[in-house]
Amino acid sequence: MLTYAFVDGRFYLPLFLLLVPLAILPDEWAVPSALKLRYSLPMIAVVRVLVLTWLCYPSQSGFKPEKNRFQAWDALRYTQNTGMSRQYEAEEELALSFRDPPSIVLSDMDCAYLNVLSPKPFVATRRQR
């Protein structure tokens, strides 16, 4: 590693592979203890972290990302949304109104979202506040 002037992530891959089983050890200890109803403060903490990880908490999801959200809950609610998003409807209206001339779009919407859905002559950029 000393022969390189920069740090290369490939050197740490074997270390990462060895740390994965080490990360599972607290769960292997806490889950059987919880199932046998032998509670202790460290066991409750480990099970709590495990359950929150299963529920994908904390998450920053949505457009504009919001803190302290459950990604699992957002995934369940996503299928209940019957209509198109407001951003998609606004982009569709923009594309229909100004189809051919080259344009620059300044918007509060996500730039990647606009650039993917826009016709080729459009370039989207985020407006600075």
**In sequence order, what are the beta bridge partners of 124?**
105
**In sequence order, what are the beta bridge partners of 103?**
122
β-pairing, 66-69 vs 59-61, is antiparallel
pLDDT at 61: 64
Is pLDDT of 82 > 60? Answer: no
**4 membership: H or E segment, kind and range:** none
The amino acid at residue 9 is G
Q: How far apart are CA 27 and CA 64, in angstroms?
A: 34
pLDDT at 93: 81
Q: How far apart are CA 57 and CA 62, in angstroms?
A: 14
pLDDT band at 44 (very low <50, low <70, confident <90, very high): very high
Average pLDDT over residues 105-127: 73
Average pLDDT over residues 37-42: 92
Between these two residues, 72 and 81, which has the higher pLDDT value? 72
